[in-house]
Amino acid sequence: MSAILELDDITRTFGDVVVTRVLHGISLEIHEGDFCSLMGPSGSGKSTLLNIMGLLDQPTTGRVSVSGVETTRMSDRERTRVRGETIGFIFQFHHLLPAFTALENIVLPSWLATGRRDAETERHALELLDRVGLASRRDTPVRSLSGGQQQRIAVARALARRPAIVLADEPTGNLDTGSADQVFQLLRDIHRELGTAFVIVTHDPGLAARCDRALRIVDGRMVD
Amino acid sequence: MMPAELVVALRLLREGRSQTLLIFSGAALGVAVVLFLTALLAGLEASLVDRTLSTQAHVVIEGRRDVPSTVRPDDGVVLSRHVDPGFVRPVLLRDVEPLVRRLDARPDVRAASPVAATSAFAMRGGLREPILLQGVESERHELVVRFEERLVDGRVDLTGDQALIGAGLAESLGVGVGDTLRVVGPVGADGVFRVVGVARFGVAAADDAWVFVSVRRAQSLGGLGDNTTRVDVLLREPGLAGAVAASLRRDVDADVSSWQERNPELLSAIRAQASSGIVINAFVALAVALGIASVLVVSVVQRRGEIGVLRATGTRRSTVMRIFLWQGALVGLVGSVVGVALGAVLVQVFVQVVRDETGAPLFAVTVTPQQALAASLLATVTGLLAAWVPARSASRLNPVDAIKGGS
C-alpha cells in the first residue's frame, strides 16, 4: 500500500532563548486504510506531531510528504490547498460555526476553499449527515445540538472534502462515555466503508485497543 | 450567488447581536452627524454667498482707477500710493456698447448690465442723505439685482423721471411710492424724481443708499457725459467668476474683479468653515473607525477556535481576511443607509426648530444625493479601514494556537 503521509526525521523545537526540543527525529508512514491510535503521556509531543502531520505546523528539520509530494518548502497558500484536499480534522472541541446550520457547517470548508456551492458538494454533505445519523437535523443551527451531535457534525465536516486521511485530536475527550463510544464507532464504520485512513490521538487505552495499529510517543520519540 | 465570505460575514454579524447593534448604531450616528454637518455647512455657505451675490454682480468691469503713486524708477516697484481722501471722482468706462455686445455673445455670461453710477445727495424737506445714484436699463439690471423679488412697494419703471429707492433710504427720508425726491449730483447738477418703487436688498449699505434711475438721468446728474462707470456681469456659473474675470482682463482695458476678489473676508470665512467641517468629519470618522475596530478585534478573539478550524480545513488566509473586511464594509454600508435617514431627520428638525426672530428658517438646509453618497462612501471606506487590523490578525492566527484556545 502506498504512503499517504510520510514523515522523515522530523524534529521540532520551540523558543529562541530557552530552546525546548519537543520532537527528536521522528520518522513514520501512514498508509491508505490505516486506522491508528497515537498515544503518549501529556507533554510527550503527540499534539505537536499531529499538527505537523496535518500541515498545521512546520517541523524545525525533516520532511513531510503528502501522497509523495514534499510539503515543507511550499508556500502557506499551497500547503493550505494540499491540507484542504487531502486531510480532514476532528478536534476535541468541535469549533463548529454556531450561527450556521448542521448542513452549512459541513459544506462551508469546501465552499470557502473553492468559492462554489455546487449540487455535488451539497449531495455529498447530505449523505454524510445521514451517515452520522443527523439527516433530520440538517437545517438546525448547531448551537441547538447536543455535544455528541455536534461532534458527529464535526466528523461529517472532516469528511466533506473526501480526504485520504483524517487526523483526530482526542475526538471523544470532551464527551460522556455513551457519546464517546458512539463517535468512535462512527469513525470505525466510516473507515470500513470509505477506506479513509485515521490517526486518532487518545488517552484511553480501551479506544487504542480498538485500533488496528498503535503509535506510541514518549519524550518526543516513537517507541514500539 | 453571494460569495461565501460575504455569507459568513453576514452570519457572524447576525450572531454578534448586541455587539453588532452597537457598531451599526455607532456607524449610523457617525454618518448622520457627518451628513448633518455637511448639509448645514453647505447651506450656510450657500446662504452667505447668496446674500453677498444678491446685491453684487459676479464680475464687475470698471474704468481703470489710476492712483498717483511713487514708483522706484529702476524696477517699477510701487513704494506708496496717494489716495485722495476727499471726494473721489467717478472713473469712466468708455466705449461700453461694443464691450456689452461681446459679453452678450459669451456663452458663460447670463447678463451684462452697464451702470452709470455716481455719488450724490438725496433731499426731502430738511433731510439730506448721501446716496449712490445708479443709472441702469431696468430689464438688463433686473437679472443682476432681481428688483421684482425685492420690491416691497410699487413697481420697477425707470423711464423718464422715475426712481426706485432702497427701503432704508425711504424710511430715513420719510418718502414712499408716489412721493418726489430731489437729487443733487457731485458737480452741482440737480433733478427731481418721482419714487415709483421701494425695494429691500437685504444689505444695509444698499438699502440705505441705493437709488436707481435711467442711465440718461444718472449720466447728466453725475456729469458723466455719455459714459458709464461700470458693467455688472452675471454668469451662468458663479463659481467660475475668477476664471471669467481672468479671461476678461486679457480682453478689455479696464479693472475687472470677480465677486470672490471683492469679498476676500467672505471667502476666508467659507474656507475656515469648510476646513473646520473637514476636521470635525475626520474626527467623527476616526471615532467610528475605532469603535468598529475594537468590536471586530473582540470578535476575532472570541472566534479564534472557529477561525482556526476554518484554516485547518483548507480556508486560505486571504479568505479569512475577506470575511472580516466584509464585516467592516457591511457595518459601513448598513450604517450609511440608517445614518442617511437619520441625518435627513436631523436636518428637518434643525430647520423646524432653529428659526430667526421672525420665525423664518435661518437658511435653507437640504441634504443632496451627493452629500448622502459622500457620507456613505466615507462610512464604507472607514468600515473597511477599521476592519483591516482585526482582519489581518484573524488571517494570521496560527491554526494550532487558535484551536488549542478551546471553546
Give the alpha-carbon dihedral of B219, B224, B228, B229, to 10 degrees: -120
Supply the ipTM of this predicted assembly: 0.85
Question: What residues does each domain of chain A span?
Answer: 34-56+83-223
Beta carbons of B400 and A51 less than 8 Å apart: yes
Give percent above pLDDT 90 in chain B: 54
d(CA A87, CA A52): 12
> What's the pLDDT at B76?
62
- Distance from C-alpha of B65 to C-alpha of B77, rounded to nearest angstrom: 18
Average pLDDT for B126-143 = 92
| Rounded CA separation B225/B222 (Å) | 8
B306 vs A contacts (CB less than 8 Å): 95-97
Q: What is the pLDDT of residue B407?
A: 41
* Predicted pLDDT at B186: 85
How would you label B364-386 residue by residue, b for 16+ Cβ within 10 Å and e otherwise? Answer: ebebeeebbeebbebbbebbbbb
Neighbours of B141 (CB within 10 A): 25
Chain B residues 303-332 with CB within 8 Å of chain A: 305-306, 308-319
From the list A57, A99, A109, the residue facing B310 with the nearest CB is A109
Is A93 exposed, middle or buried (CB count within 10 Å of its CB: 0-12, 13-18, 19+)? Answer: buried
CB contact under 8 A, B315 and A157: no
Of A97, A98, A112, the CB nearest to B319: A112
Which amino acid is residue A222, in one-letter code? Answer: M
Q: With contact defined as beta carbons under 8 Å apart, do A161 and A109 qualify?
A: yes
Closest residue in chain A to residue B310, using alpha carbons only: A109
Q: Which whole number is the average pLDDT over B329-358?
A: 90
What is the four-CA torsion angle of B219, B225, B229, B234, rounded to 10 degrees? 70
Contacts of A110 in chain B (CB under 8 A): 314
Q: Return the closest-CA partner of residue B36 out of B381, B344, B356, B403.
A: B344
Band of pLDDT at residue B81, cut at 50, 70 and 90: low
Contacts of B316 in chain A (CB under 8 A): 77, 80-81, 113
Nearest CA to CA, how far is A190 from chain B (Å)? Answer: 19
B396 interfaces chain A, CB cutoff of 8 Å: no
Kindly give the parts of chain A with pLDDT less than 70.
1
3-state secondary structure B116-170: EEEEEEEEECCEEEEEEEEECCHHHHHHHHCHHHHEEEECCCCCCCEEEEEHHHH
| Max Cα distance, chain A (Å) | 54
Q: Would you call B403 and A93 a contact, using CB atoms and an 8 Å cutoff?
A: yes
Per-residue pLDDT for B313 more than 90?
A: no
Q: Beta strand pairing status for A165-169 and A197-201?
A: parallel
Nearest by CB to residue A89, choosing from B4, B15, B312, is: B312
Structure confidence at residue A97 (pLDDT) = 87
Model pLDDT, residue B302: 87
A198 beta partners: A35, A166
Q: Is the pLDDT of residue B238 over 90?
A: no
Contact residues, chain B, for A100 at CB < 8 Å: 11
The arrangement of strands across the sheet holding A3-14 comes to A20-31, A3-14, A61-66, A69-70
Residue B108, pLDDT > 70, answer yes
**Which residue from A54, A98, A115 is facing B4, i.e. has the nearest CB?**
A115
Question: Nearest CA to CA, how far is B400 from chain A (Å)?
Answer: 6
- pLDDT at residue B86, as a whole number: 42
Name the DSSP letter for residue A164: S
In percent, the amount of chain B with pLDDT more than 70 equals: 93
Which B positions 351-370 lie with beta carbon below 8 A of chain A?
none
- The DSSP code sequence of B28-82 is HHHHHHHHHHHHHHHHHHHHHHHHHHTSS-SEEEE------EEE-TTT--EEEE-
- pLDDT value at B406 more than 50: no
Find out whether B15 and B319 touch, Cβ atoms under 8 Å: no
When pLDDT is averaged across residues B75-94 and rounded to a whole number, the result is 63
* B78 near A CB under 8 A: no
- Kindly list the residues from chain B whose CB atom is less than 8 angstroms away from the CB atom of residue A57: 400
Which residues of chain A approach chain B closer than 8 Å at the C-beta? 47, 51, 54, 56-57, 76-77, 80-81, 83-85, 88-89, 91, 93-100, 108-113, 115, 117, 157-158, 161
**A113/B314 Cβ within 8 A:** yes
DSSP code string of B162-201: EEEEEHHHHHHHT--TT-EEEEE-TTS-EEEEEEEEEE--
**Which of A172, A178, A158, A166 lies closest to A203, judged by CA?**
A172
Q: What is the C-alpha separation between A98 and B306, in angstroms, rounded?
A: 9
According to the model, what pLDDT value does residue B85 have?
44
Cβ contact B310–A56 (<8 Å): no
Cβ of A81 and B4 within 8 Å? no
pLDDT at B80: 65
Residue B82 has pLDDT above 60, yes or no: no
pLDDT digits (tens, 9 = 90+) for B14-70: 888 888 998 899 999 999 999 999 999 988 888 888 888 878 899 999 887 765 566
Mean pLDDT of chain B: 88
Tell me the shortest Cα–Cα distance from A209 to chain B, in angstroms. 26
| Domain at A34-56+83-223, CATH from 3.40.50.300, 3.50.50.60, 3.40.718.10, 3.40.50.1820 | 3.40.50.300
Query: Is pLDDT of B252 > 60?
Result: yes
